[in-house]
Amino acid sequence: MKEYMMIFIGDSYEDLGLSPEEMQGKMGKWFEWSNVMQEAGVLRGGHALHSEVRHVSGSKRTITDKAGSEVKELIGGYYIVEAKNMDEVVTIAEGYPDYDLGGTVEIREIMVFDR
Amino acid sequence: MKQDKTIDHLFRHQFGKMVSILTRIFGLSNLETIEDAVQDTFIKASIAWRDEMPENPEAWLTKVAKNRTLDLFKSIKAEKNRAQFSFNGPSSIAVSELFLDNEIEDAQLRMIFTACHETLDPRDQISFALKTISGFSNKEIASALLLKEETVKKRLHRARKSIKDNKVKFEIPVGKELNLRLDRVLEVIYLIFNEGFHSGNPELLVRMDLCGEALRLCKLLIGRTETKTSKSLALFALICFHSARLDSKTNDLQEAIAIKDQDRSKWLFPLIVMGNRAMNLAVEGGEFSVYHFEAAIVCEHLKAKRFEDTNWKAILGFYKQLQQLDPSPIHQLNIVVVLLQLKETAAAKKQLQTISPKDLERREYLYHGCLAEILAEKGQMDDAIAACTIAIELANNKTEKSFLQKRRAILMDQL
């Protein structure tokens, strides 16, 4: 078994102009999805990220502060799941609730050298 | 009817959990809003469950509570101009995290320490703890603590206001502050337990819930390295030992049974084992608290296979050490009771005379009960009956009264 990171990319619900009821519905779906993964025993962890972003870049270490709404492809958080291969994670990622809002799941295998 | 009680019990249990979790997210300054939201969840649940209970009601409630977090984000943000927080799907990961068992325990510990913060009036602390951690309704708190509902409401209001005004943080203190606050936490748990164990509250379920809550809270404390002290272990042992006898303490009509007549086979062995284990750890440090001595006393009772086998000499020794450590008229009165068991009537009388009955407050009736026994032992039956009659008048509830009435009938037979 290998571990994979599912990275969630998409704008915040507020920036997308969702109504409170729509947000509520979405959140319900997220909770359900995490339940499904939990029950299947594949969920290894995850974190949500705040939307404020600070970029440090270049040899001069230039600092740029940005609000989440100014960032293209904002990472909202990630889950780590256990799976045999990428394809299996793609199947897991089918439960991701935000495709209809233009959201993306980026799947990456976690690098481990002990085998 | 039975189902209603099950739901009440479940709600009580879940209320504290949910309020604690949500307080971690939204902070103590929003406590009232949070409590209202959780209450509202329960109202919705009882309507939805009218026809059919879900298979796993706890999971059902958790799911609804999780969904409520979003509502709360909205309303609290509008109300308080909260710091910028933008909501997206992955935020649910952080919310879910808080609903994991160990996080729930952490949140509840924070709430216990909040309830025992020194800025709260000690009188308000217990009401607040019962409400916020144990999910008792105002009415249930009133009946458990023998207070008026209005008083409970005032106390809760005062507690919440004090938390807000003093900007109490939702956290477990560290260092010196931890030890100080932990002492009060143990006291409050002890008081909650006593309300359940010793009160004559006719509602057995409420009493059992109080004892169960004390046991649960104490277990949370000893489940964590920083709070697993010799004192908390001793209190846990004490609660286990007492709880083992809870069922044998009353008959089917909820009347008190004297320890002499209790069916010892009804004592719950697993609780005794659990208590013993905690007690062994508690004495390792060699420093003894009131809880150590109280636990030792109950343990002596449990050790005796029959009432006649009770080691009253050992118990007397423990009571004397207890009295030295924490002088109280109740301990003095207990010394009288033990002396009576040892047939040291003269010593019992002398000891009783050092107590002023009014200091015993709600337990004043016990003074007269003991006096009746001393007088009966000396053959002064008329006076004994008179003392017993005063005790009956002063007794707080039916159970105590009927117990004393039976005793008086026996005394009258001996006339």
- pLDDT digit of tens for each residue in chain B (415 aa)? 456 677 777 888 888 889 999 998 888 988 988 998 898 888 888 888 888 888 888 888 888 888 777 777 777 765 554 444 567 889 888 888 888 888 889 999 999 999 999 999 998 999 999 999 888 888 888 877 778 999 999 999 999 999 999 999 999 999 899 999 999 999 999 989 988 887 656 667 777 888 988 999 999 999 999 999 999 999 999 999 999 988 787 777 666 677 777 888 888 899 999 999 999 999 998 889 999 999 999 999 999 888 889 999 999 999 999 999 999 998 999 999 999 999 999 999 999 999 999 888 888 999 999 999 999 988 999 999 999 999 999 987 777 788 899 999 999 998 7
Q: What local confidence, expressed as pLDDT, does residue B1 receive?
A: 43
Token pair recorded at residue B410: 């026996």
Tell me whether residues A31 and B96 touch, CB distance under 8 A.
yes
For chains A and B, what is the number of CB pairs under 8 angstroms? 83
Q: What local confidence, expressed as pLDDT, does residue B256 receive?
A: 67
Residue A8 CB burial class (10 angstroms; 0-12, 13-18, ≥19):
buried
CB within 8 Å of B301: residues ≥ 6 apart: B245, B259, B310, B315
Chain A: residue nearest B64 by CA? A28
Q: Are A54 and A15 a contacting pair, CB within 8 Å? A: no
Max intra-chain CA distance, chain B: 82
Task: Give the integer Cα–Cα distance in Å for B179 and B230.
Answer: 12
Residue found under tokens 């029959």: B306
Tell me whether residues A20 and B84 touch, CB distance under 8 A.
no
* Interface membership of A12 toward B (CB under 8 Å): yes
Q: Could you write out the three-class secondary structure of chain A?
A: CEEEEEEEECCCCCCCCCCHHHHHHHHHHHHHHHHHHHHHCCEEEEEECCCCEEEEECCCCEEEEECHHHCCCCEEEEEEEEECCHHHHHHHHHHCCCHHHCCEEEEEECCCCCC
* Residues in A 40-59 with any Cβ partner in B closer than 8 A: 46-52
Q: What is the mean pLDDT of residues A90-104?
A: 96
Q: Are B192 and B126 a contacting pair, CB within 8 Å? A: yes
* Interface membership of A79 toward B (CB under 8 Å): yes
Tell me whether residues A13 and B86 touch, CB distance under 8 A.
yes
Closest CA to B296 of B254, B325, B339, B257: B325
Q: What local confidence, expressed as pLDDT, does residue B82 receive?
A: 46
Give the gap in angstroms from C-alpha B265 to the nearest C-alpha of chain A.
42
Chain B positions contacting chain A at CB under 8 Å are 63, 66-67, 69-71, 74, 84-96
Tell me whether residues B86 and A49 touch, CB distance under 8 A.
no
* CA B8 to centroid of chain Cα atoms: 18
Q: What local confidence, expressed as pLDDT, does residue B254 receive?
A: 65
Tell me whether residues A20 and B71 touch, CB distance under 8 A.
yes
* CA B7 to centroid of chain Cα atoms: 21
ipTM value: 0.88
Residue found under tokens 């006593």: B194
Give the gap in angstroms from C-alpha B219 to the nearest C-alpha of chain A.
27
CB within 8 Å of B150: residues ≥ 6 apart: none
Probe site for chain B from A7, A30, A33, A66 (most B CB atoms < 10 A): A30
Give the gap in angstroms from C-alpha B38 to the nearest C-alpha of chain A.
16
CB within 8 Å of B66: residues ≥ 6 apart: A27, A31, B92, B95, B96, B99
Contacts of B88 in chain A (CB under 8 A): 8, 10-13, 48, 51, 76-77, 98
Give the gap in angstroms from C-alpha A13 to the nearest C-alpha of chain B.
5
**Closest in B63, B86, B90 to A77, CB measured:** B90
In this prediction, residue A96 has a pLDDT band, given cuts at 50, 70 and 90, of very high
Give the gap in angstroms from C-alpha B95 to the nearest C-alpha of chain A.
9
Q: Could you write out the three-class secondary structure of chain B?
A: CHHHHHHHHHHHHHHHHHHHHHHHHHCHHHHHHHHHHHHHHHHHHHHHCCCCCCCCHHHHHHHHHHHHHHHHHHHHHHHHCCCCCCCCCCHHHHHHHHCCHHHHHHHHHHHHHHHCCCCCCHHHHHHHHHHHCCCCCHHHHHHHHCCCHHHHHHHHHHHHHHHHHCCCCCCCCCHHHHHHHHHHHHHHHHHHHHHHHHCCCCCHHHHHHHHHHHHHHHHHHHCCHHHCCHHHHHHHHHHHHHHHCHHHHECCCCCECCHHHCCHHHCCHHHHHHHHHHHHHHCCCCCCCHHHHHHHHHHHHHHCCCHHHCCHHHHHHHHHHHHHHCCCHHHHHHHHHHHHHCCCHHHHHHHHHCCCHHHHHHHHHHHHHHHHHHHHHCCCHHHHHHHHHHHHHHCCCHHHHHHHHHHHHHHHHCC
* Interface membership of A24 toward B (CB under 8 Å): yes
Tell me whether residues B89 and A31 touch, CB distance under 8 A.
no
Tell me whether residues B88 and A46 touch, CB distance under 8 A.
no
Token pair recorded at residue B134: 């144990």
What separation, in Å, do the N-terminal and C-terminal C-alpha atoms of chain A show?
Answer: 11
Tell me whether residues A31 and B67 touch, CB distance under 8 A.
yes
Give the gap in angstroms from C-alpha A83 to the nearest C-alpha of chain B.
20
**Closest in B69, B71, B92 to A34, CB measured:** B92
CB within 8 Å of B139: residues ≥ 6 apart: B149
CA angle B101, B107, B108 (to 5 degrees): 90
CB within 8 Å of B337: residues ≥ 6 apart: B370
Tell me whether residues B92 and A8 touch, CB distance under 8 A.
no
Strand duo A43-48 + A104-109: pairing:
unpaired
